[in-house]
Chains A and B, each alone.
Chain A
């Protein structure tokens, strides 16, 4: 789980108004929930019944801790009965906080915690202090409330082991800020799902509610939406246009924007207008803007017009909301709204009326019909027409049809203009676009920009096979992150394991095992891009590792990258000690699927008792979409290794892809019985339900998968599609803002 993110301020859970990484409560919750998870055992995991008492000694190395700035606080805190603490304890016993004292005693004397665990608690404090002390900006250490909080969180975590539900306790006012509360709330929700993976949803809910109630945290959803008002939105659009026009509109415009946004922040529009008029005269602005535009070098006027019109439309809309009469009459606003209607276009650094061309006439005519109708569509459409410009259209058409220009007009009008207009009007009257299509467009546009941003990030990172590390990683500096990561992986805490393993490979970049396990973890967490990136590094470090080669083959198959997948599966064969002799060395680039399949079949005949060969065969048959053979191969492998959860998932996925969704769900269920936190299987369940048209069910499974790994991009996209198919457009906002609380409440599993 991206638990660390939630608290340490990762992208998935930015808590408005709190810099969570630097607040002591957040750090505390982080340390307690995060490290205590080690003591949890997942019931559904055979062979993972680990008690970790000896591991706690790993937590107490003297060396790394003393090197951290602010560690002077630590020694103070380590001598536990220091003056302030005991005074605090004394205070509690002497006053009326009976409930608290009880809770406190329970935590420290309770038989639930064996002696070994005591040591570990101290270890948690140490870890917490380390995190806390790393931030010297907050020197006022206020011990008592943190201790109280930590006890509560510990007893919450302990309640699973004890087998008794967590009881709400009365606590003194802890003075948690909204941000802290949110952190604790989010984190405990996700954590609870891990700890109580074998319990029902209601049980988890009640547990979390009890905890939150004790801490006086509102368990209801608190608005997490972005704080951006219309101003920053405007700025965003404007910046986007800058992006599109960078070569053409250099610095002068930037300066103007900065000035504009600065002025914009003053809440008083009148004052703003005044001051601007003072500076530039009432009409100076418009001319300045014009000048600036002229100064820019607009190489591609058409594209710029498209962008400029979009921008000015947005600008006009926003500006139009300003009621100040002076402003409403200003030339600038007129200018902008003219731009947005296409009456003015910017062409070769000149501002021209937009009616000087055939396209202009078209546009006017078109617009005349549409003045009543939904503006934004008309605008968009018109922009498209204008932006291509007469020349482009003519070229395109004459190229395609090899006809003179006059014919094009006929052709085109015959083709679909009127159809489109009619169809569009019809759809609008049918309400296909809802009441406010302008808003829809703006939303779509907004989302698109986001997507672009994310896509470009991805392009520069994961898809090129470059591993993208998490921003904040509490395991950096851990003495043995690999061991920690293995432990977390075994317990199914996949997102935590990712962090620990990232810390390991940061420390030892050539550790093939670290990279391999990291890749496996990402694959189980339903992120093939990152899995591939990690596996590539593992392969660099250890080119002949069979598990790595197979995993790369599988992930590339999932990403539909057939040639790559085939390459790695072939290398698996080449590097296999037993079957290597079957594979001729020479062909590496020119692989034929049929040859590879034949070789693997030979291998399977050589040793039918080797489950791995059947697994590779199954993957290969997936590549060639011979699903029946693939299913048979996986079933063969499962006879040999019936408790391999990833095999059950592979079987299920193959069945799902060959449209046997009902069988697939049974196979996934097997996988989940063996590994309850297998995010990939949860997400696959959702896919199978969606492909059968059972959208409500699919939503439940997607949400469940996302609750365990909010970074599973695909699941978010699929969730949105299912929401739309289930006509639950009301939840789009929750989906887009990634608000899992709302979604979980609406679709409990």
Chain B
């Protein structure tokens, strides 16, 4: 309950997902490191930084130690929308809703299917 971001909950689930067969396949398939700067409301304001490491199969809080393959800046709700397939990252990028630094081919592999879907009570 440390973070008030909705994205944090999803990333927690991602942690667990990496423990499964399917999660392990992801690291083989993608093998890249993404840094996510997630802001509660406005891009760049009060960002929380997470690293989704698809090389090692882990999610950590705080900036990456080294150079991530791609760094994304999202708002909380845009990240969720992207992870659930509601928002196309390429179009969001063009609209300025997402900022991307780093390799574009790495960025293009950042797609909704790498995230587990939360089940509903």
Contacts and interface: CB of A to CB of B under 8 A. Distances in A.
B117 A691 contact: yes
Contacts of B19: 659
A625 B10 CA distance: 11
Interface in A588-606: 593
Interface string A541-562: 0000000000000100111111
B85 A717 contact: yes
Contact of B120 (A447, A683, A717): A683
B47 to A, nearest CB: 14
A623 B21 CA distance: 25
Contact of B119 (A561, A657, A717): A657
Contacts of A447: 88, 91
Interface in A653-710: 653-654, 656-659, 661, 664, 680, 683-684, 687-688, 690-693
Interface in A401-427: 416, 419-420, 423-424, 426-427
A131 interface: no
A623 B22 CA distance: 24
A521 B55 CA distance: 43
Given A623-B1, A625-B12, A691-B20, A720 B119 contact: no
Contacts of B25: 693
B87 A451 contact: yes
B118 to A, nearest CB: 6
A528 interface: yes
Interface string B15-56: 011011110010000000000000000000000000000000
B65 to A, nearest CB: 19
A423 B103 CA distance: 9
A680 B120 contact: yes
A12 to B, nearest CB: 18
A658 B84 CA distance: 18
Contact of B1 (A562, A714, A724): A562
A561, A653, A659 interface centre (most CB from chain B within 10 Å) = A659
A680 B120 CA distance: 7
Contact of B9 (A426, A526, A562, A713): A562
B104 A424 contact: yes
B117 A687 contact: yes
Given A420-B103, A427-B105, A691-B17, A653 B86 contact: no
Given A419-B103, A691-B22, A724 B113 contact: yes
B63 interface: no
Interface in A624-670: 624-625, 649-650, 652-654, 656-659, 661, 664
Contacts of B4: 562-563
A664 B119 contact: yes
Interface residues of B, number: 40
Contacts of B86: 451, 455, 713, 717
A656 B118 CA distance: 8
A73 interface: no
B100 to A, nearest CB: 10
Given A653-B120, A687-B119, A721-B85, A693 B13 contact: no
Contacts of A656: 119
B121 A650 contact: yes
A720 B102 CA distance: 28
Interface in B50-72: none
Which of B9, B105, B118 has the largest count of A CB atoms less than 10 A from its CB?
B118
A454 to B, nearest CB: 9
B104 to A, nearest CB: 5
Contacts of B116: 659, 691
Contact of A684 (B21, B108, B119): B119
Given A451-B86, A562-B4, A649-B121, A423 B21 contact: no
Contact of A444 (B12, B13, B88, B102): B88
A725 interface: yes
B105 A423 contact: yes
B119 A688 contact: yes
A718 B88 contact: no
A717 B1 CA distance: 28
B98 interface: no
Given A416-B103, A451-B87, A384 B94 contact: yes
B117 A619 contact: no
B21 A693 contact: yes
B91 A444 contact: yes
Contacts of A687: 117-119
A114 to B, nearest CB: 41
A260 interface: no
Contacts of B81: 455
Contacts of A383: 94
A380 interface: yes
B37 to A, nearest CB: 13
Nearest to B76: A560
A88 interface: no
B121 A654 contact: yes
A110 B18 CA distance: 61
A528 B22 CA distance: 28
Nearest to A419: B103
A73 B116 CA distance: 58
A518 to B, nearest CB: 18
Given A622-B121, A691-B117, A725-B113, A444 B90 contact: yes
Contacts of B21: 692-693
Contacts of B112: 717, 721
A447 B86 CA distance: 10
A531 B84 CA distance: 19
Interface string B73-111: 000000011001111101110110000001111001001
A445 interface: yes
A448 interface: yes
A561 B104 contact: no
Contacts of B120: 526, 528, 558, 653, 680, 683-684
Contacts of A721: 85, 112-113
- Of B9, B108, B120, most A-chain CB atoms within 10 Å: B120
Interface in A345-403: 380, 383-384
Contacts of B13: 625, 657
5 A-B pairs closest in CB distance: A717-B85, A448-B91, A653-B119, A656-B119, A560-B6
Given A619-B121, A683-B120, 5 more contacts: A444-B88, A563-B4, A688-B119, A693-B21, A724-B113
Interface of B: 1, 4, 6, 9-10, 12-13, 16-17, 19-22, 25, 80-81, 84-88, 90-92, 94-95, 102-105, 108, 111-113, 116-121
Interface of A: 380, 383-384, 416, 419-420, 423-424, 426-427, 444-445, 447-448, 451, 455, 526, 528, 554, 557-563, 593, 619, 622-625, 649-650, 652-654, 656-659, 661, 664, 680, 683-684, 687-688, 690-693, 713-714, 717-718, 720-721, 724-725
10 contacts: A416-B103, A445-B91, A447-B88, A560-B6, A623-B1, A624-B1, A657-B13, A659-B19, A691-B17, A721-B112
